[in-house]
Amino acid sequence: MKPSSAVSPSHRYARITGTGSMLPPRRVSNAELAEELAGRGLETSDQWIVERTGIRARRFAEPQVQASDLGVAAARHALEAAGRQPEDVDLIIVATSTPDMVFPSTATIIQRKLGIDGCPAFDLQAVCSGFVYGLSVADAMIRAGTARCALVIGSEIFSRILDFNDRTTCVLFGDGAGAVVLEASAEPGILASRLHADGRHMEILCTPGTVAGGQVVGDPLLKMDGQAVFKLAVKVLEEVAREVLEAAGRQPEDIDWLIPHQANIRIMQGTARKLKLPPERVVVTVDEHGNTSAASIPLALDHAVRAGQIQRGQTLMLEGVGGGFTWGAVLLDF
């Protein structure tokens, strides 16, 4: 049964009706990763990683697992939570930097695996800001009346593009997927969103490789200037949070939960301090998930919902920052 189309066009909003996530079963602790790096002649430790990032472990996918596999599992959990079936979905947006293949899109592969056909399905590339971008696009399409029930998925297998000879980056990232079902509603859900990008900073976080003539051209492994990313991230995350609050007519104290991109605990804490939000109102999963790029926000959201932290009626601020350089935020009533 398709979702109801009875929502008046003049009073059409988009609300999250279900969340889901999927983590690969293999948990890699800092100690295990440090031992592996020691075999490459690199020194690191659990203490060194925790102090700088807040990360204690991450999940790595097995070689046969693809981003679509994780995304499908997360989507099924979100659909179940929303009380929907795959055939109810009329829009699929997948945020990923690690697609299954050059083309077709991972979204169409997920569409096929879910047994859906006919609806729009496409990938969105904004790296770690991807889920916020995807949620904003789905919100706009629902408000415009071109979709009624959307799957917005963030799915990543960053372990495939890490340089394990660079301890400053390979300890940061992990694999996983998160998803939400976003449906048309007569009641406001997403209150406001703002998206930004500045390509002048593209070099500070990138994977500068591609495929040409059957060969990898450039460097297919992740590169990052950690200090530059940190400095820019804290600045723009505060700015975009205040921009979205102003657009929605809300104040920082109206935020029940801040769900930031899970990149680094110091960036997350810095943003919360600037908004004068206490640490206990920040959803934190970076300690166990690491940085899962576009999957990190929906993973953290689903974790907090299923743990009973986030309750219906609460106000959430979702915000991300990533390579490009991209950033954005969404304020919503859950």
DSSP β-ladder status, 57-59 and 223-224: unpaired
Are the C-beta atoms of residues 108 and 123 closer than 8 Å to each other? no
Are the C-beta atoms of residues 293 and 322 closer than 8 Å to each other? yes
The structure tokens listed for 71 are 């995304």
Q: Is 196 a catalytic residue?
A: no
CA torsion 291-292-294-300 (nearest 10°) is -90
DSSP β-ladder status, 91-95 and 121-124: parallel
CA distances from 164 to 37, 158, 171 (A): 7, 12, 8
Q: Is 289 a catalytic residue?
A: no
Q: Which of 30, 149, 206, 261 is catalytic?
A: 261
Q: Is 128 a catalytic residue?
A: yes
CA dist., res. 287 & res. 149, Å (int): 33
Give phi and psi for 104, each to the nearest 5.
Answer: -75, 175
CA nearest to 47, candidates 38, 55, 39, 37: 55
- Strand residues in 125-239 grouped as ranges (E): 149-157, 175-185, 190-197, 205-206, 209-212, 215-218, 223-224
User: Residue 128: CB partners within 8 Å, gap ≥ 6?
Assistant: 261, 263, 291, 293, 294, 296, 320, 321, 322, 323, 326
Q: Which of 128, 149, 170, 206 is catalytic?
A: 128
Name the β-bridge partners of 190: 332
The structure tokens listed for 206 are 């990138």
Instruction: Name the DSSP class of 60.
Output: -
CA dist., res. 285 & res. 164, Å (int): 23
Q: Which of 30, 170, 201, 291 is catalytic?
A: 291
The catalytic residue positions are 128, 261, 291
